[in-house]
Amino acid sequence: MHRMAESGIAAHWLYKSDDDKNDKFQDRANEWLRDLLEIQRTAGDSLEFIDNLKIDLFPQEVFVFTPKGEIIKMPRGATIIDFAYAVHTDIGNACVSARVDRKLAPLQTKLENGVTVEVITAIWARPNPLWLNYVTTAKARSGIRNYLKNFKQQEAISLGRRLLDKELQNMHLQLEAIDKPRIKALLDSVGKQNLDELLEDIGLGNKMPFLIAKRLSQDDVNAAIKLEDNEQTQKTSLAIKGTEGMVVTLAKCCRPIPGDSIIGFFNPGKGIVVHHHECRNRNITRKKQTSWLDVEWSEETAGEFPAELRLEVLNQRGTLATVASTISELNSNIENVTVVEQDSRICVDLITVSVRDRVHLAKIMRRLKELSIVVKITRVKA
């Protein structure tokens, strides 16, 4: 301590070294000190000197401030998402945007030394699987994966309960009224510890709800409460909103939207995939697997859904701008544009637009058809 106080950090380094290596370490220390002096001479001010010194001392780390002035150490190359999870896992799970030095920045922005980061959260927000491509810290990666796993599990349990309730309703039964011993016997026979595990398997498409409902209704009629005897059995369809999460997905080949006739197929391990009734792949899928069910759009369906249009337009200047402005006037947005064919007179484009339902799409197609530059317009259904 005395030598360090008298001669500085270089002497401390020398003191910690073996005697036979003193000369080598002394040379390295002197070289390091010369570099520091050079940095000090070329630095514009003391803040720039300190910033350069931090980079020299900690080349693999960056130091970021919270709005309250707390310092968070992050690995170099870390993003705002990494910072959010470093502050708290709940902050990371609910982040939607951020301000870096009071300026809005996307979540995948890489952090630099000395910046102040304010994370913006929302109650409805949840991690996106694409975040795994941006994060660098183990805490952020683990937090995202754990949330997605638990979220998918809860979604699968909820969907499995709905599917089983639907099948039991067709048999004039109720799940809540079935005796616990009968449920326990069923769980033992399928190798499940509890009812949630069975419902999760149903929701993921690993177990057919009709078969489970049939086994619950067999043998003992008194095991469930019967509805009115004179009530006729009606085959009901599963109502979907299209926003159920990770266990109900809309097929990308036909892109069904609210108002379309739809059919659902079980995809083992993933849940239900919803196709348009007129989708070409629907017939192929139906031949390959018998695990399908009738589904319909819920009256509570809300949000926007992608629909693909095939446009044959005149190949002239301003055509795409006119089409885009027309779509924008009808409160829709273009998600993707692909040029399929093009010659000196006609251009064929595939345009993916966001719509609320079938009626909204019809208005867009009608308005586009009225344009003089549009030769033909059709909806793509695979």
Q: What pLDDT was estimated at residue 223?
A: 38
Q: What pLDDT was estimated at residue 23?
A: 65
What does the domain layout of the chain look like in residue ranges?
A: 2-57, 62-136, 155-223, 238-297, 305-379
pLDDT(83) > 90:
yes
Write down the CATH superfamily of domain 62-136: Beta-grasp domain (3.10.20.30)
Phi/psi for 251 (5° steps) reads -60, 135
Residue with the larger pLDDT of the pair 375 and 264? 375
**In CATH terms, are 62-136 and 305-379 the same topology?**
no
Q: What pLDDT was estimated at residue 220?
A: 43
Distance of CA 303 to the CA centre of its chain: 16
Residue 243's pLDDT band (cuts 50, 70, 90):
low
Q: What is the DSSP letter of 289?
A: -
Largest CA distance in the chain: 102
Mean pLDDT on 287-299: 72
Among the ranges given (79-83, 94-98, 229-233, 244-248), the one the predictor scored with the smallest mean pLDDT = 229-233
Q: What pLDDT was estimated at residue 363?
A: 94
Residue with the larger pLDDT of the pair 180 and 48? 180
- Going 21 to 22 to 25 to 27, the CA torsion angle's sign is negative
Q: What pLDDT was estimated at residue 323?
A: 92
| Chain length of the chain | 382
AA letter at 50: I
Residue tagged 């079938």 (tokens): 358
Task: Calculate ∠ Cα 78-82-85, nearest 5°.
Answer: 160
Q: What pLDDT was estimated at residue 367?
A: 93
Q: What pLDDT was estimated at residue 170?
A: 76
Structure-token pair, residue 48: 């720039």
pLDDT(43) > 80:
no
Mean pLDDT on 220-244: 49
Q: What pLDDT was estimated at residue 353?
A: 93
Q: What pLDDT was estimated at residue 376?
A: 92
Mean pLDDT on 27-45: 68
Residue tagged 């000395």 (tokens): 114
Distance of CA 202 to the CA centre of its chain: 23
R_g (Cα) of the chain, nearest Å: 31
Structure-token pair, residue 183: 């449920």
Mean pLDDT on 89-98: 92
Q: What pLDDT was estimated at residue 1?
A: 58
Residue with the larger pLDDT of the pair 229 and 317? 317
Q: What pLDDT was estimated at residue 233?
A: 39
Q: Which of 118-132, 215-229, 352-366 has the highest mean pLDDT?
A: 352-366
User: Which of the following CATH numbers is that of domain 305-379: 3.30.930.10, 3.40.190.10, 3.30.70.260, 3.40.50.720?
Assistant: 3.30.70.260
Residue with the larger pLDDT of the pair 281 and 77? 77
Among the ranges given (233-237, 292-296, 319-323, 373-377), the one the predictor scored with the smallest mean pLDDT = 233-237
Q: What is the pTM of this model?
A: 0.56
Task: Return d(Cα 101, Cα 67) in angstroms, integer.
Answer: 9
Task: Return d(Cα 119, Cα 97) in angstroms, integer.
Answer: 6
Per DSSP, the three-state class of 40 is: helix
Task: Return d(Cα 236, Cα 280) in angstroms, integer.
Answer: 25
